[in-house]
């Protein structure tokens, strides 16, 4: 595990009783670890969601508002998997290809499901399979949501979005905003974001059952003042 330091085995004086232990440390934001982004993760013009000032985030104490501990009791809601790779009959979307609202609605139509208020939408582009088969994107290119999906998500009243990539398609097509899905989703809409999910097993189960919605449970670690947490999301069909 990145950031894990194995400690030497330790024994009691008679050496009959012993233990092993580790010290863990990680930078979970990025393109690898499955993690939850809380609203204090991104600023725009010095402000967070609901116009709260970035000054509420302190180097020593972390964030005094909208930290991951706002979800300390967990997030449990209806999850809907939109398998846009399956809808397009491809193993995966290529890095740099963005998912648009028409793609979401085509997945809904083919799966017989509809995203509603309060749902968590899980976007499968096949990026997990792409990585497992040893493929590598060139440069900064990655697949994911196109920013044009944001009004669609707002109209449907979605509470959380997830993807098997770091969310934003790159290049995003917007020169003045590096990650518009993060910037607009977190700052303007108050969405919670689940980055870098492994959706392969979920997609296989959904296809076998012919059921694309389920109970989604996300339980972040209660890291006081932090802008997110590594998580292990659970879909229960």
Tokens of 204: 């296989």
Angstrom distances, CA of residue 123 to CA of 96, 194, 225: 15, 10, 28
Residue-level pLDDT at 199 = 97
Within-domain flag for 85 = yes
**The three-state (H, E, C) secondary structure of 205-236, written as one string:** HHHHHCCCEEEEEECCCCCCCCCEEECCCEEE
pLDDT digits (tens, 9 = 90+) for 69-122: 999 999 999 999 999 999 999 999 999 999 999 999 999 999 999 999 999 999
Count structural domains, the chain: 1
For residue 109, how many C-alpha atoms fall within 13 Å in the half-sphere facing its CB?
Answer: 8
Within-domain flag for 16 = no
Mean pLDDT, residues 124-137 taken together: 88
Q: Are 150 and 191 in contact (CB under 8 A)?
A: no
Residue-level pLDDT at 166 = 95
pLDDT digits (tens, 9 = 90+) for 21-69: 888 898 999 999 999 999 999 999 999 999 999 999 998 899 999 999 9
Residue 229 sits in a domain whose CATH number is: 3.50.30.50
Where in the sequence is the domain holding 121, given as residue range(s)? 31-236
**Pairing status of strand 228-230 against strand 4-6:** unpaired
Within-domain flag for 83 = yes
Closest CA to 80 of 216, 209, 205, 182: 216
pLDDT digits (tens, 9 = 90+) for 178-196: 899 999 999 999 999 999 9
Residue-level pLDDT at 1 = 45
Residue-level pLDDT at 19 = 81
Within-domain flag for 11 = no
DSSP state, residue 55: G
pTM for this prediction: 0.90
Residue-level pLDDT at 123 = 98
Within-domain flag for 23 = no
Within-domain flag for 104 = yes
Mean pLDDT, residues 199-218 taken together: 98
Range name among 6-20, 126-140, 150-164, 168-182 with the lowest pLDDT average: 6-20
> How many other CB atoms are there within 10 angstroms of residue 132's CB atom?
10
Within-domain flag for 124 = yes
């Amino acid at each position: 595990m990145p950031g894990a330091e194995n400690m030497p085995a330790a024994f009691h004086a008679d050496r009959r009783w012993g233990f092993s232990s580790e010290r863990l440390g990680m930078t979970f934001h990025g393109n690898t670890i499955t993690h939850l982004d809380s609203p204090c993760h991104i600023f725009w013009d010095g402000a967070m969601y609901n116009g709260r000032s970035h000054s509420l985030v302190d180097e020593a104490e972390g964030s005094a508002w909208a930290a991951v501990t706002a979800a300390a009791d967990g997030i449990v809601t209806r999850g809907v998997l939109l398998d846009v790779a399956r809808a397009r009959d491809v193993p995966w979307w290529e890095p740099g290809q963005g998912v648009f609202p028409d793609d979401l609605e085509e997945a809904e139509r083919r799966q017989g499901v509809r995203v509603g208020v309060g749902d968590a939408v899980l976007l499968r582009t096949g990026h997990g399979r792409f990585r497992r088969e040893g493929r590598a994107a060139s440069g900064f290119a990655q697949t994911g949501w196109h920013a044009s999906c944001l009004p669609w998500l707002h109209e449907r009243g979605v509470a959380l979005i997830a993807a098997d990539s770091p969310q934003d398609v790159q290049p995003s097509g917007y020169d003045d905003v590096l990650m518009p899905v993060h910037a607009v989703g977190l700052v303007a809409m108050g969405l919670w974001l689940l980055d870098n999910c492994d959706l392969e097993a979920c997609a296989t189960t959904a296809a076998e059952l012919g059921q694309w919605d389920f109970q989604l449970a996300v339980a972040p670690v209660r890291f006081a003042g932090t802008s997110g947490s590594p998580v292990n999301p659970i879909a229960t069909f």
